Amino acid sequence: MKVLSVTGYKPKEINIFKHDDERIDIIKAAIEKRLISFIEEGLEWVLISGKMGVELWAGEVAIGLRNRYGIKLALIPPFENQEEHWPEPIQQIYQELRAAADFYRPLYKGGYSGPYQYQASNKWLIDKSDGCLMLLDEEFTGSNRYFYEEATKAAPGDYPLYFITPADLEDMVEEMRMTDPDYWG
């Protein structure tokens, strides 16, 4: 797999309301662990649409891995200025990712004009990637369900979906705890 799209929840869907919530570090660590395993198998590009939450965090992780592994990041928002109504700290993260991305181009010129832009974005990400890594809890799919439904109907069996589940996040918490020297002190 050379190209992987990454998607998941918006912050409010997983009860994260502050841009510096410590749970974001756990999610980023889980994404990093999975991306490194994909990189070791030949991954070259990470694709995101740049939605708030998991996609921005994945973008930050990809940029952090770029120097060590040569991974590239493509930021393909569904339309221009998608971040204009977001909280200021998240707008800043988006702008930094936009500047750091190896490739950036909105699918549609201009601002938001309808839900079709998100549908087109999902289809584009599926078309242009070899698979997708999703943060997903099957009991509560949230806005992920639209991407998930599109991915499963677009190419049944041909488009691999990889998941980070709540259990994976619990394992990451334990892994991080075990590597903390204060834990053993």
What is the per-residue pLDDT for 178? 86
Q: pLDDT for 136-163, tens place per residue? A: 998 888 898 999 999 988 666 789 999 9
pLDDT at 98: 97
Cβ atoms of 74 and 103 within 8 Å: the answer is: yes
DSSP string, 50-99: --TTHHHHHHHHHHHHHHHH--EEEE--SBTTTTTTS-HHHHHHHHHHHH
Each residue's pLDDT tens digit, 94-123: 999 999 999 999 999 999 999 999 999 999
Task: Tell whether the model's pLDDT for residue 182 goes beyond 90.
Answer: no
CB 143 within 8 A of CB 14: no
User: Is 41:1 a contact under the CB 8 Å cutoff?
Assistant: yes
Domains of the chain are: 3-176 (3.40.50.450)
**Single-letter residue type at 15:** N
Asked whether the beta carbons of 112 and 79 are under 8 A apart, the reply is yes
Alpha-carbon span 8 to 54, nearest angstrom? 5
Percent above pLDDT 70 for the chain: 97
* % of the chain with per-residue pLDDT over 90: 86
Compute φ and ψ for 51, nearest 5 degrees.
-65, 155
Strands laid side by side in the 161-164 sheet:
103-104, 72-75, 45-48, 3-7, 131-135, 161-164
Q: Work out the mean pLDDT of the chain and round it to a whole number.
A: 94
Q: CA-CA distance, 19 to 42, in Å (whole number)?
A: 32
Contact 77, 108 (CB under 8 A): no
End-to-end CA distance of the chain: 42
Residues 6+ apart with CB under 8 A from 83: 50, 90, 91, 94, 95
